[in-house]
C-alpha cells in the first residue's frame, strides 16, 4: 500500500517506520527541524520491544502535493493541529482513500454518522472555527484508538517504548473490506490491530485514561509507573475517571470496568512517558482541549458536573502559563 503519515512525531514516526519495514510505500508529512533531519539523514527507529535499531530513508515533505494520491492516510497529529492542516490534504486523497486519525482524546469525528439526538454535535474545543466540519471527511474516516507508547527523542529519532495494540472501526460499526485491509497492513508491521464494531466504546475506554493520566503527568512529572505507584495521586485519577464515565453514560456509552480495572490497563505501559509530559518538557502546546476541555464541554451539554476534572485542568493550564506554553484552551 501507498501510505502517507501526517505528522512524524512519536506515534506517526513509529507507524511509518514499521509499516515501511513491512514492505509498504510510506511517505511522511512533517515540518521544521524534524523534516530537515528526515530529508537529509532519514528516520532512526529505536524499537525497545523488538530490540531493533535502524535508519530508514523515506520520502518526506511539508507539502501534500509532493506525496500525491495515497491508498491510506494516517493522521498522527496533536488534536489542535488537525484543523490547521485538514484543508490541505486533498492532493493525497484519491476518491476512495480512507483516513485513519491515530489521535488521543475525544476525536472530532465522534458524532458523525452517530445517529440519534447527538448526530452531528459540534464541540468548540475540538473544532473552534468549524474547519473539520467543513472538510466533510466523515465518509473517509476509520476510527482508531492507540494503545502503544512512543517518543520522538530528537528530530528524526523515534523510540517505540511500549505496547503494540491498535483498535480500528468504521463509524457505522460495519466490518468493511477497507477496515480489514488497514488492519492487515498494520498486522504486517507487527502491530496488534483489532477491527471493532463499537469504536466509540473503545474511544471512551481509552479516553478516561487520557483524561486522568495526561494532565496528572504534566503536573507531577511522573512517568506512568510512578503515577500507578502513588496511591495519593491514584485517588485523584479515580475521581476524574468517574466523572468521565458519567459523561459517557449520559450519551449512551457504558464503560464496563471500574477505575481500578482501567488503571490496571495503564500499568501495562510500564515506565512510559505520557505524551502530555513529553510536550510540557519540550515546551510544546499540550492537548488540553482535545483530551480534557472537550469532555468538560460535553459534560456541560448533557448536564454532568466535573469539578475535579475542572480543577485539574485549571492547574495544568496554570502550569503551562508559568512555563510560557500556550495552554490552547478553546
Assign 8 to helix, strand or coil: coil
Between helix 307-322 and helix 294-302 the angle, nearest 10°, is 150
Task: State the Cα–Cα distance between residues 127 and 94, nearest whole angstrom.
Answer: 24
Cβ atoms of residues 81 and 88 within 8 Å: no
Calculate ∠ Cα 215-34-330, nearest 5°.
35
Name the catalytic one among 2, 18, 78, 206: 206
Q: Would you say the C-alpha torsion 150, 3, 188, 209 has a positive or negative sign?
A: positive
Task: State the Cα–Cα distance between residues 312 and 307, nearest whole angstrom.
Answer: 9
C-alpha cell at 147: 494503545
The question of whether 18 is a catalytic residue gets the answer: no
CA distances (Å), origin 312, targets 116, 151, 152, 193, 318: 32, 24, 26, 33, 10
Active site residues: 206
Amino acid at each position: 500500500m501507498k501510505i502517507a503519515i501526517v505528522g512524524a512525531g512519536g506515534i506517526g514516526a513509529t507507524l511509518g517506520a514499521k509499516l515501511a519495514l513491512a514492505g509498504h510505500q510510506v511517505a511522511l508529512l512533517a515540518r521544521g527541524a524534524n523534516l530537515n533531519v528526515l530529508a537529509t539523514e532519514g528516520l532512526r527507529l529505536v524499537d525497545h520491544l523488538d530490540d531493533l535499531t535502524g535508519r530508514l530513508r523515506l520520502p518526506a515533505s511539508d507539502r501534500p502535493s509532493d506525496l500525491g494520491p495515497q491508498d491510506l492516510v494516517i493522521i498522527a497529529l496533536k488534536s489542535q493541529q488537525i484543523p490547521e492542516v485538514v484543508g490541505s490534504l486533498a492532493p493525497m486523497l484519491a476518491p476512495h482513500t480512507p483516513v485513519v486519525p491515530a489521535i488521543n482524546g475525544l476525536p472530532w469525528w465522534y458524532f458523525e454518522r452517530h445517529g440519534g439526538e447527538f448526530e452531528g454535535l459540534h464541540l468548540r474545543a475540538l473544532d473552534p472555527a468549524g474547519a473539520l466540519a467543513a472538510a466533510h471527511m466523515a465518509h473517509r474516516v476509520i476510527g482508531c484508538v492507540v494503545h502503544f507508547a512512543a517518543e520522538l527523542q530528537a528530530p528524526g529519532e523515534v523510540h517505540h517504548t511500549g505496547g503494540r495494540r491498535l483498535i480500528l472501526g468504521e463509524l457505522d460499526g460495519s466490518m468493511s473490506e477497507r477496515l480489514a485491509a488497514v488492519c492487515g497492513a498494520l498486522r504486517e508491521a507487527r502491530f496488534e490491530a483489532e477491527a471493532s464494531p463499537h469504536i466509540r466504546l473503545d474511544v471512551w475506554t481509552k479516553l478516561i485514561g487520557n483524561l486522568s493520566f495526561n494532565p496528572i503527568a504534566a503536573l507531577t512529572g511522573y512517568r506512568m509507573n510512578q503515577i500507578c505507584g502513588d496511591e495519593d495521586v491514584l485517588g485523584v485519577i479515580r475521581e476524574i475517571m468517574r466523572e468521565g464515565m458519567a459523561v459517557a453514560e449520559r450519551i449512551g456509552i457504558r464503560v464496563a470496568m471500574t477505575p481500578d480495572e482501567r488503571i490496571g490497563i495503564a500499568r501495562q505501559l510500564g515506565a512510559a512517558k505520557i505524551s502530555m509530559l513529553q510536550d510540557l518538557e519540550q515546551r510544546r502546546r499540550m492537548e488540553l482541549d482535545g483530551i480534557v476541555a472537550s469532555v468538560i464541554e460535553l459534560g456541560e451539554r448533557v448536564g454532568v458536573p466535573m469539578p475535579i476534572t475542572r480543577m485539574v485542568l485549571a492547574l495544568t493550564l496554570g502550569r503551562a502559563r508559568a512555563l510560557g506554553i500556550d495552554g490552547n484552551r478553546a
